Amino acid sequence: MRQSKWLILALVAFLGGGGNMKAGSSLPRAAALQISEARQGPARWISPAHWFNQQTAAARKPGTLVRIDLIGDSTQTENAGYGRGYCANLASQVDCLDMAKGGASTKTYRAEGLWERALATRPDYMLIQFGHNDEVSPHHLPREVPLPDYIANIRLFVTEARAAGIKPILVTPLTRRFFGADGKIHSDLTAYSNAMKGVAREMHVPLIDLQDTSIAYLDKVGKAAADKLAITKKNETGKTVFDETHINWAGSYVFGRMVAVGMGKVVPALAQYVLPLPAQLPPQGVKAMRVIQGGPVRIVLIGDSTVATQGGWGPGFCAVMTPNVTCIDDARNGRSTKSYIDEGLWKKALAEHADYYLIQFGHNDEKPDPKRHTDPDITYAANLRLFIHDVRAIGAVPVIISPLARRTFHDGTPYNADLQFYGNAARRVAEQEDVTFVDLLSVSDKLLSTMTQAQADRFDAVDHPDQRAENGNAKLDRTHLNDDGKKVFGRMVADNLSRWLVELGPDVIGDPTPPTPSGQGSPSR
């Protein structure tokens, strides 16, 4: 009812005014950007940029003739795998749906309900690739699967897909880029690749042999060229090194092309949908490659006082960026999504013409005064969409961040139920708009939950103007951050951001120290 009430009032004001509202309101423009977004039933975050809704999962993009799902691990995803490159190499008649999940194995993909959701999308074809996380290691992680179980799991996927009227296509795992002294790839996935081939023969399933094809390609081009296709990570000393498993935009388009061409060969009916020439990187991909290769980066932070320089995580974030990054903190104390727009601050931030905009609001959107208050599922969501639309219009990349957790404990744990309404809305908007999302509310709350109230109070700011204005001479400020808090939570944002926007990895200095109950350090990557 609350959503309906706000929507009716908004539309009445908008339509009754001939499409205009009084000065100071951001609602009409936001209305043009789908203001009426409301809660949409049981939905989950599958990958950095994929919104899944059980009720509409089978709906297809208009004008498409065939749907193909990618089912697998991080090497199929859009941010660190070949997913976007594969989809880019298919004609517009294909509804290409990336249902891969980082860290998934044949065991966890089913256990986490991802297989059930994939079936609910009712594709015509599924490209199924696992192995990287199934492989048994000395660590014996819960996701790992011995070879006989891996074979049984793949067989079950094939059987159930066929029972649902879906045509499975098996894909051997993309090779890791392990070069030996002889300059050739020495794969650790041969056994799982051979097992996949065995299931394909036994069950008469089309097979794309990505393992052998990718090895042949890498053997030909060599390690230096292979490194140019990689994302980076931090080693145990905090040094930036090449990731030998995951791939950047260029890598996605190289290996995605291999998969698309391979599909057309083993399933002749799909050959017509494979582009005759390799797809070229879009502007966002060109920018990302420039960044990962050490080019200059401009990042603007917008938000409220929990991001701003005086008491927010912004300074800590900017401090762990390399000199390649121009980091501008345009967050302002006391602002909400509404007042930030109404006061012209958003217009000024856009004029910075940054490459990335990091957007975090919520603390003041929940305040009752009409100059700042927004409803999380209507006006707050609409304003976030406006930010996203405007950032994309200038060729930049938007990032939505949920609010920083407050540090007031109830019954021994931090209490942030009120902020969670805004955190949930931020997540929904990011998912639906295919925007990178950093769930700072969850990760900061998780860190604080390992502490006592006294330990969390070591992050408290002193004499912050917003705290004085709202609470008089209260001694404890459990919303804003002191210098230690800025470092911890700024690092937290940087590390989580670079997990999704992997091109920024080289521009994050060092590696964080694991958190301790004393509140020193931040989550490790």
Say how far apart CA 487 and CA 319 lie, in whole Å.
8
* CA distances, 463 to each of 405, 408, 419, 466, 500 (Å): 19, 17, 23, 9, 35
The reported pLDDT for the residue numbered 467 is 60
Q: What percent of the chain has pLDDT over 70?
A: 85
Residue appearing with tokens 């989580």: 496
Res. 235 pLDDT band, cuts 50 70 90: confident
- Residue 118 has phi, psi (to 5 degrees) of -65, -45
Tell me the average pLDDT of the chain.
87
Residues 61 and 187 in one domain: yes
> Is residue 522 one of the residues assigned to a domain?
no
Say yes or no: 340 and 219 in one domain.
Answer: no
- pLDDT reported for residue 514: 43
> How much is the pLDDT for 466?
61
pLDDT at 470: 59
Alpha carbon distance 292, 504 (integer Å): 6
**Angle subtended at Cα 57 by Cα 56 and Cα 59, rounded to the nearest 5 degrees:** 70
Assess if residue 348 is contained within a domain.
yes
Q: Which helix (H) or strand (E) holds 96?
A: strand 94-98
Q: What is the mean pLDDT of residues 147-154?
A: 98
On whether residue 118 sits in a domain, the answer given is yes
188-200 pLDDT, tens digit each: 999 999 999 999 9
Question: Same structural domain for residues 227 and 369?
Answer: no
Confidence tier at 52 by pLDDT (50, 70, 90): low
In one-letter notation, the amino acid at residue 10 is: A
Reported confidence tier of residue 143, pLDDT bands at 50, 70, 90: very high
Examine the fold and report which residue of 226, 261, 280 is the final residue of a domain before the chain moves on: 280
What's the pLDDT score for residue 70?
Answer: 97
C-alpha distances in angstroms, 192 versus 132, 260, 274, 288?
9, 22, 28, 32
Cβ(121)–Cβ(306) under 8 Å? no
Calculate the CA dihedral of residues 359, 360, 364, 369 and round it to 10 degrees. 30
Distances (CA, A) of 516 to 194, 282, 450, 513: 44, 42, 8, 9
Question: How many domains does the chain fold into?
Answer: 3
Residue 525 has pLDDT above 80, yes or no: no
42: three-class secondary structure by DSSP: coil
Q: Does residue 515 lie in a domain region?
A: no
For residues 414 and 500, membership in a common domain is answered with yes
Could you tell me the CA-to-CA distances from 52 to 16, 105, 284 in Å, in that order? Answer: 35, 20, 24
Q: Do both 261 and 339 map to the same domain?
A: no
240 and 266 in a single domain? The answer is yes
The whole-number average pLDDT for the span 507-514 is: 68
Quote the tokens at residue 242: 């090449």
Whose CA is closest to 461, among 333, 320, 337? 333
pLDDT above 60: residue 214: yes
pLDDT tens-digit series, residues 294-312:
899 999 999 999 999 999 9
Instruction: Specify whether 398 is located in the same domain as 426.
Output: yes
- 418 is a domain residue: yes
Same domain, 131 and 231: yes
Work out the burial of residue 8: count CB atoms within 10 Å of its CB; fewer than 13 is exposed, 13-18 middle, 19 or more buried: exposed
Distance in angstroms (rounded) separating the CA atoms of residues 476 and 505: 36
Range of the domain at 16: 2-32
Higher pLDDT, 497 or 470: 497
Q: What pLDDT digit, counting tens, does each position of 319-334 carry?
A: 999 999 999 999 999 9
Task: Please name the residue ranges forming H helices in 364-439.
Answer: 381-393, 417-432
**261 & 135 share domain:** yes
Confidence of residue 49 (pLDDT cuts 50, 70, 90): very low
Question: What's the pLDDT tens digit per position in 436-480?
Answer: 999 999 999 999 999 999 999 999 998 666 665 555 555 688 999
Q: Write down the pLDDT at residue 13.
A: 35
The CATH number assigned to the domain holding 338 equals 3.40.50.1110
Q: Are 451 and 409 in contact (CB under 8 A)?
A: no
- One-letter amino acid for residue 322 of the chain: T
Main-chain phi, psi angles of 388, to 5 degrees = -60, -45
- Same domain? For 272 and 326 the reply is no
State residue 232's pLDDT score: 86
pLDDT at position 513, please? 44
User: Residue 395: what pLDDT?
Assistant: 94
The pLDDT of residue 20 is: 35
| Under 8 Å between Cβ of 322 and 506 | yes
pLDDT at 432 over 90: no
Its pTM stands at 0.79
What's the pLDDT tens digit per position in 128-137?
999 999 999 9
Q: Are 313 and 404 in contact (CB under 8 A)?
A: yes
Cβ 388 vs Cβ 434: under 8 Å: no
**Does residue 40 belong to any structural domain of this protein?**
no
Query: In the prediction, which pLDDT does 417 show?
Result: 93
Per the domain annotation, does 366 fall within a domain?
A: yes
In this predicted structure, what is the pLDDT of residue 9? 36
Instruction: Return the pLDDT at 492.
Output: 95
Q: Is the domain of 113 the same as that of 192?
A: yes
Question: How far is 83 from 76, CA to CA, in rounded Å?
Answer: 5
Q: What is the pLDDT of residue 510?
A: 76
Q: In this predicted structure, what is the pLDDT of residue 515?
A: 38
Cβ burial of 361 (10 Å; 0-12, 13-18, 19+) is buried
Question: Can you give the pLDDT at residue 468?
Answer: 52
**Looking at the structure, do residues 203 and 316 belong to the same domain, yes or no?**
no
Backbone angles phi, psi at 124, to 5 degrees: -80, -35
Separation of alpha carbons 194 and 209, rounded Å? 10
Query: Where is the domain boundary, 241, 261, 280?
Result: 280
Asked if residue 37 is part of any domain, the answer here is no
